[in-house]
Amino acid sequence: MYEAYLIGDRVIVLDPEAARALYSEGFYGNPIHTPKPKKLEDVKPPLVLSPLETLYLVEKGIVRVKDFEGNELGFNDLFKVWSSIPKLKEKYMVYKELRDKGLVVRSGLKYGADFSAYEFGPGIDHAPYVIDVVLADEEMESSELVKAGRVAHGVRKKFIMAVVKDKTTRYIMFKWYLP
């Protein structure tokens, strides 16, 4: 089990071997000094884990998170820390499903989406999917859907909406069609 520390709203891995192992075993985290490492040797701490990565790794028993006083924070404690993140429960549910299916899930912010997903990992392949998490009863303007589809098409990715209702997720993939 690797050790990480909650500093503010971030979780940091300081141990060099733990940072390299987490990155090499699943592309978890972002090394501060090398945002896009090309080789494993380029992964140097501190490694910053996202809230969703942290929750997943804690739930799987891979990472133990401590606060400044040395108190261990469990899954529920961390969930409370990040409770202000919109749709945290639903985003985590989708993140976990995608990770459990073997995809490498990263932030999709630069594509205007919640996630980008790789089949193999950053630096190995390009993310073929961008994913947005929506609630089943959430209203959406048609123009938002068109924008998301155009962005995804423009960067050669498939746009997927993960529609969450209760504890079920349905995935809808959109493809750009020119008549």
Query: Catalytic residue positions?
Result: 118, 126, 157
154: Cβ contacts below 8 Å, ≥ 6 apart: none
Cα dihedral sign, 66-72-75-81? negative
Cα separation, 111 vs 137, whole angstroms? 24
The helix (H) or strand (E) run that includes residue 46 is none
Report the DSSP pairing between strands 2-7 and 10-13: antiparallel
The helix (H) or strand (E) run that includes residue 77 is helix 75-81
| In 39-168, alpha helices (H) | 51-59, 75-81, 88-100, 142-154
